[in-house]
Structure 1
Amino acid sequence: MSDSTYTDFEFERRFLVDSLPTELLAEPAPALIVQSYLLASDGYGLRIRVQASQSRAVVGPTTDPLEALEEHAGELDFCAMTAKGPMVGGTRYEAERELDVSVGLEMIRRGGQRIVKNRYSVWLGADGWVVDVFGGANHPLVVAEVERSGPVTDLDIPDFCTTEVTDDPRFSNDRLSAAPYGRWCADYRDELASSGTRYLDGFGTNGSTGPAGS
C-alpha cells in the first residue's frame, strides 16, 4: 500500500456480476491466476498465487487448476505468498511477500486447495476495478472488486454489479477454495430472489457509473 498508515491492510468492496460487459471482453487478454490455499479457516488464509499476466488462456467449467498451471507454466510472470485475516467492514489484514515463480509453482504442485480464474482490469471513473471470472468448480461465478489504499467510501458502482458481497464470507477466495460456488449457486440464487439485491450503506454515498468504457 502507498499509504504507510494502512500498511498490511486491504480495503475493498466486492460485487456479484451476472453478465460480463462486452467492453471488458474487448480489453487486452485477461490474466490467468491459480491460487493454492495452504490454510483456509475462519477467515484466516495462507495463499500462494501465481499469475500469467499476458496469457490468452480462458477458463471454463471444466478447467482444472493444476492442469491449467502445468499447461501455462512457461507463461507465469508473478508469484506471491499472502497471509490474510478475516474481513471486517470492508477491511482485511493482508501481508504479501513476492516469491520466485519457480518456488511458488512447486509449492502449488505439492498441495493446498486450489482455484483458477481469469482477471480482467478496467478503469471506471476514479477507480480501478478487477473482474474475476472463475473456472472449474467455482464456475459460473464472476466477482467485481475495487480496492483502495484506504476505506472504500462514496463509491460509484458500475451497472454490471448485481449485488454486494463484501461482507458475505462465502465469496472470499479462501472459502471458495473449500466450498466452491458451483455446489451452492442454485441455493444462493433462490436466496437472492427472495431477499433482493443489496448494497452496503455504511460506506458513505453509493453512486453509479455507466457500462465499462463509458
Structure 2
Amino acid sequence: MSDGGYGDFEFERRFVARDVPAELLAQSPPTLVVQAYFLAADGYALRLRVQSDTARAALGPATDPVAVLEEHAAAFDFCALTAKGPAAGGTRYEAERELDVSVGVQMLRRGGLRIVKNRHSMWLGEDGWVVDVFGGENHPLVVAECERSGPVVDLQIPDFCVTEVTDDTRFSNDGLVHRPFGTWASEWEHELAVRGPRFAQTFGHNEVLHEEL
C-alpha cells in the first residue's frame, strides 16, 4: 500500500526475468508465499496471503500450493487480505488489512484459487525490488517488480529483466490463477521471439542496470 500521499494506490513496474544471478538470490533468503484469490475478474481481485521468512520450499512444476500450506502451516508469520482494482499505467488501487495468521491459514485451506512462490527482496541500484519465483502450474515463471510510493519513472532496470509486462494482465497474479503460465509458456516464448523485448517508454528514461556482485 502506498504511503506517498496517494492513498490506497500502488505504483509498480513488472518484468519477466531470466538468469537472475544465484549469488544475488542467495543474498536475499526467500519469503515463502501462499496466496489465494476469492475474486479475480475484470481487474478486480480479493486476495488472501500468508507468508513466512523462515520456511524453505523448493518449488517446481509439480508443487501443490495446498501441500506447501500444510507442510509449513506453523511457520507462517504474516497474513493479509487485500482488495485490488484494475491496473492502468503501472498504477492500481490496493487496500490491505492484516489478519490473524491462524484464521488466514484456515481460510486458505477451505478455498480460493491458489498460487505458491518464493519471493526475494533486494536493493538494486536506487530501488527496492522483489523477484518472485513461481512454483506449481506457474513454474518456471520468474517476475521482477519495482514498487514505489509514487509513479515508477526513470527506472534503472536490471539486465536480467527480459521484457516489461507492467500492463500485460496475463502476468498479474490474479490473471495467473485463471490461466497459469505453464499452460501457455511456449506460446509466449514464440510471441517474444517474433516481436522482441519491449520496455515502456511512457515512464521517463529507462536505464539498464548491470549488477556487480
TM bucket by the smaller chain?
Answer: over 0.9
Helix, strand or coil: the match of 1:143? Answer: strand
**Counterpart secondary structure, 2:177:** helix
Compute the displacement of 1:209 (Å): 1.1
**Matched residues in 2 for 1:190 and 1:56: separation?**
33
Cα distance in 1 between the residues matched to 2:20 and 2:196: 20
Helix, strand or coil at the partner of 1:178: coil
DSSP-derived class of the 1:6 partner: coil
The answer to whether 1:35 aligns with 2:35 is yes
- The DSSP-based 3-state class of the residue aligned with 2:176 is helix
In structure 1, give the amino acid aligned to 2:64: D
Q: Are 1:135 and 2:130 matched, yes or no? A: no
Q: How does 1:41-56 map to 2 (within 5 A)?
A: 41-56=41-56
* Structure 2 partner of 1:106: 106
Preserved CA contact (<8 Å) 1:134 1:141: yes
Aligned to 1:12: 12
Q: CA deviation at 1:175?
A: 0.7
Q: Give me the whole-angstrom Cα distance separating, in 2, the residues matched to 1:107 and 1:178.
A: 19
- Which runs of no fewer than 5 residues in structure 2 stay unpaired? none
Give the superposition deviation at 1:12: 0.1
Unpaired runs of 5+ residues, structure 1, are none
CA contact (8 A) 2:38 2:45 kept: yes
Number of the residue aligned with 2:3 = 2
Shift in Å at residue 111 of structure 1? Answer: 0.4
- SS of the aligned residue for 2:93 comes to strand
1:1-214 paired onto structure 2 within 5 Å: 1-3=2-4, 5-211=5-211, 214=213
SS at match of 1:7: coil
Deviation of 1:28 (Å)? 4.0
**Runs of 4 or more consecutive aligned structure 1 residues displaced over 2 Å after TM superposition:** none
May I ask how many residue pairs the two structures share in their alignment? Answer: 212
Following the alignment from structure 1 to structure 2, what is the Cα–Cα distance between the partners of residues 135 and 57? 10
CA deviation profile, 1:39-73 (whole Å, cap 9, x unmatched): 00011100000001122222111110010000001
Contact 1:121 1:129 in 2 (8 A): yes
Conserved in 2, the CA contact under 8 Å of 1:51 and 1:79?
yes
Once superposed, what is the RMSD of the aligned Cα atoms? 1.0
Q: SS where residue 198 of structure 1 aligns? A: coil
Conserved 8 A contact 2:28-2:122: no
Please tell me whether the aligned partners of residues 8 and 94 of structure 1 are also in contact (alpha carbons under 8 angstroms): yes
Q: Which amino acid aligns with 1:193?
A: A
Q: 8 Å contact 1:24–1:120 — kept in the other structure? A: no
Q: Is the 8 A contact 1:51 1:77 kept in 2?
A: yes
Change over 3 Å in CA distance of 1:55–1:28 after alignment to 2 = farther
Q: TM-score, normalised by structure 2?
A: 0.97
Q: TM-score, normalised by structure 1?
A: 0.96
CA distance in 2, matches of 1:49, 1:109: 12
What is the CA-CA distance between 1:132 and the residue it aligns to?
Answer: 0.2
Deviation at 1:15? 0.2
Question: Is the Cα–Cα contact under 8 Å of residues 131 and 142 in structure 1 kept in the other structure?
Answer: yes
1:189 match: secondary structure: helix
